[in-house]
Every structure is written in C-alpha cells, then in structure tokens.
C-alpha cells in the first residue's frame, strides 16, 4: 500500500465530532471531564453565594423584610446544602 492509498483510506472516515455541546456532555476525555467538574463547582459556588447575599440582606437591619420567615429558612437550608454537598 502506498502513502497515497493510505491517505485516501483515512479520508474516507467521517470526521470526528468536536466542539459541540453533545460532545462535551458525552465525553470520556479526562481533560474535558475535569473542566466540566470545575465549571459545575463554580456554578454552584455562585448560586450558594447569591443565596448568602440574600441571607445577609435579610439580616442587615432589624425589622427589614427581604424574604418571609419561611423563605429565610429555605434560603438558609439551600445555602448550606449547596455549599456542603455541591460545592
């Protein structure tokens, strides 16, 4: 087999998918999986930080109602759960 015939055989294969969202979500490449872990952890860190800011806004001044009492309990629980288990 000559070099030219080998190149023709290689060009007959369909190109490998690259760059799409499905490629990223179904990858087994360890580098991409690591990046996905970091992006997901950062996203949950940002969500937990947003909940923390809402909690701080509620506690900033006595009597100020940013969220209801039940909403505050839910914010507090969600913030703790996200920061402990997802971040």
Helix H, strand E, coil C: the string for 17-51 is: CCCCHHHHHCCCCHHHHHHHHHHHHHHHHHHHHHH
pTM, entire model: 0.71
Q: For 7-17, write each residue's pLDDT tens digit.
A: 655 666 666 65
Q: What is the distance between the alpha carbons of residues 87 and 49, in angstroms, rounded to a whole number?
A: 11
Structure tokens at 38: 């970091």
Q: For 19-45, write each residue's pLDDT tens digit.
A: 788 998 899 999 999 999 999 999 999
């Amino acid at each position: 087999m000559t070099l030219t015939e080998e190149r023709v055989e290689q060009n007959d294969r369909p190109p490998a998918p690259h760059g799409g969202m499905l490629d990223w979500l179904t990858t087994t490449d360890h580098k991409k999986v690591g990046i996905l872990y970091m992006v997901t952890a950062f996203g949950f860190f940002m969500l937990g930080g947003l909940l923390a800011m809402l909690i701080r806004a509620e506690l900033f001044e006595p009597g100020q109602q940013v969220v209801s009492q039940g909403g505050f309990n839910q914010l507090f629980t969600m913030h703790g759960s996200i920061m402990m288990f997802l971040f």
